[in-house]
Amino acid sequence: MSQEPRTVMVTGASGYIAGWIIKYLLEAGHTVHGTVRNPDKASSVAHLHRMAEQAPGSLKLFKADLLDADSFDAPMKGCEVLMHTASPFVLDGFSDANEALVRPAVEGTRNVLNAANRCETLKRVVLTSSVAAVYSDGTDMKGKSAFTETDWNTGSSVDHNPYQYSKVAAEREAWKIHDGQSRWDLITINPGMVYGPSLTNASSSASIGTLLDMGRGKLKTGVPDLVYGAVDVRDVAQAHLLGAFNPDAEGRYLLVSESVSMLDIARLLRKQFGSQYPFPKMKVPKPVVWLFGPMMGPVTRKFISRNVGYPIRFDNSRSKVLGIQYRSVSDTLKDHFEQVLEDGLVRRRTA
Ligand code: NAP
């Protein structure tokens, strides 16, 4: 990776993943132009200023909103690289999925990349996409041994898996705008479910939800047989830097360390933290999940039918060629749950 200092714009600088990206950029001596909706909100940005004080790089924060088409021109001025991480990552608590998820993701990507088209210095864009742009449901694995970068999510819609739909629609929009010009190239980083310690406790990323539910006993009676591709937030951030500065990088990169079921997560946590915590010990039978799941959380029967009991696998070989050396999910969960205890989000229990 080039050590030459560059000016790099990072959208959604206050976010969980962006925090680690900015830390690594500052440590490598780069100049970061971060965008946030509210640069005066100390609880969201204080950690970024602290990191900048302790690192050789420098940081400037700008106010920008995904739905404000003109707000990205000023922060992009003089940047060579753009990392577009901002996008709503919420799975519940909204009534209109289009307004909460799809419109900000797609229109936001369009606004940010139209600004990229107006910025003469910009050479490369790294988009934080997701495995959600690669598949919709576990049933999409039919006939495959693993998902690869050639797969696209064709099963989601605003009514079925709207978050997944927001990600695939935003990534498709990004490739469309990329194909209409020739100055900048596009790399997408497509992570699975991201775990690992956060540099901010102000992020509303949905990533922490499962750990809180497990630690607080919400899932004590059992978990559905759901499998995720899991990856460490620090590895995801490193992939953004490799995607930005490795001249050979091109196209999409799936970022998944291992596929783990919810029960695997519980087992790994129990092994590290002990049985005094109410981590689940068994799977809930699919018919019971189908019957009661929609009353317990933001899942539909269609999601349950198409995902519970379907193992999924990802081929991460392209990301290894890019230079990623994955942390184990066990270490990632240990570091993340330790932070959850440290922050008092789950009460520490002694054996
Ligand atoms: P996060 O902490 O919630 O960060 C999302 C960021 O997007 C926040 O900084 C938020 O800014 C910004 N944002 C949301 N709506 C916005 C709007 N209308 N205008 C401007 N900024 C807006 O979540 P994260 O986990 O770091 O997610 C970052 C990216 O990674 C997202 O694109 C997400 O889809 C993707 N991703 C996440 C995971 C995961 O498991 N965490 C997995 C795959 C992909 P504010 O501070 O202003 O709210």
- Over residues 13-28, mean pLDDT: 97
In 3D space, the residue among 160, 281, 135 whose CA is nearest the CA of residue 220 turns out to be 281
Q: What integer pLDDT is reported at residue 140 of this predicted model?
A: 98
The secondary structure of residue 148, as a DSSP letter, is -
Q: What integer pLDDT is reported at residue 296 of this predicted model?
A: 80
> Is the model's pLDDT at 1 over the cut of 60?
no
In 3D space, the residue among 134, 161, 128, 163 whose CA is nearest the CA of residue 147 turns out to be 134
Report the separation in Å between the CA atom of 17 and the middle of ligand 1, taken as the mean of its atom positions.
8
> Is the model's pLDDT at 2 over the cut of 80?
no
- Over residues 304-309, mean pLDDT: 96
Question: Which residue has the CA at smallest separation from atom 48 of ligand 1?
Answer: 37
Q: How far apart are CA 348 and CA 245, in angstroms?
A: 41
In 3D space, the residue among 139, 145, 144 whose CA is nearest the CA of residue 161 turns out to be 139
pLDDT band at 74 (very low <50, low <70, confident <90, very high): very high
Catalytic residues: 167
Residues 273, 337: contact at Cβ < 8 Å?
A: yes
Beta-carbon contacts of residue 74 (< 8 Å; ≥ 6 apart): 62
Q: How far apart are CA 85 and CA 322, in angstroms?
A: 19
Residues 33, 75: contact at Cβ < 8 Å?
A: yes
Q: What integer pLDDT is reported at residue 203 of this predicted model?
A: 64
Site residues for ligand 1, CB cut-off 6 Å: 12, 14-18, 36-37, 44, 65-67, 85-89, 104, 128, 130, 167, 191, 193-194, 203-205, 207
Report the separation in Å between the CA atom of 12 and the middle of ligand 1, taken as the mean of its atom positions.
6
> Is the model's pLDDT at 322 over the cut of 60?
yes
> Is the model's pLDDT at 132 over the cut of 90?
yes
Q: How far apart are CA 109 and CA 84, in angstroms?
A: 8
Q: What integer pLDDT is reported at residue 90 of this predicted model?
A: 84
Amino acid code (one letter) for 79: C
pLDDT band at 79 (very low <50, low <70, confident <90, very high): very high
Question: What is the average pLDDT value for the chain, to the nearest integer?
Answer: 95
Helices (H), the chain: 16-27, 42-53, 73-76, 97, 103-118, 162-179, 209-215, 233-245, 262-273, 286-296, 301-307, 317-322, 329-342
Q: Which atom of ligand 1 is nearest to the CA of 13?
A: 9
How long is the chain?
351
> Is the model's pLDDT at 125 over the cut of 70?
yes
Alpha-carbon dihedral angle through residues 297, 311, 170, 5, given to the nearest 10 degrees = 110
**Ligand 1 pocket: which of 17, 98, 107, 167 to mutate (most atoms <8 Å of CB)?**
17
SS3 271: helix
> Is the model's pLDDT at 142 over the cut of 60?
yes
- Residue by residue, DSSP assigns 10-54 as EESTTSHHHHHHHHHHHHTT-EEEEEES-TT-HHHHHHHHHHHHT
Alpha-carbon dihedral angle through residues 83, 91, 235, 130, given to the nearest 10 degrees = -60
Q: According to CATH, what is the number of the domain 7-194+232-256+313-326?
A: 3.40.50.720
Tokens representing 276?
């005094």
Q: What integer pLDDT is reported at residue 298 of this predicted model?
A: 80
pLDDT band at 93 (very low <50, low <70, confident <90, very high): confident
> Is the model's pLDDT at 341 over the cut of 70?
yes
Q: What is the pLDDT of residues 254-280, one digit of tens each?
A: 999 999 999 999 999 999 999 999 999
> Is the model's pLDDT at 100 over the cut of 80?
yes
- Over residues 164-184, mean pLDDT: 98
Q: What integer pLDDT is reported at residue 351 of this predicted model?
A: 79
Report the separation in Å between the CA atom of 206 and the middle of ligand 1, taken as the mean of its atom positions.
9
Q: What integer pLDDT is reported at residue 3 of this predicted model?
A: 62
pTM for this one?
0.97
> Is the model's pLDDT at 204 over the cut of 70?
no
Tokens representing 76?
């992009």
- Over residues 181-193, mean pLDDT: 98
> Is the model's pLDDT at 210 over the cut of 80?
yes
Residues 246-264 as b/e (b if ≥16 CB within 10 A, e otherwise) read eeebeebbbbbbbbbbbbb
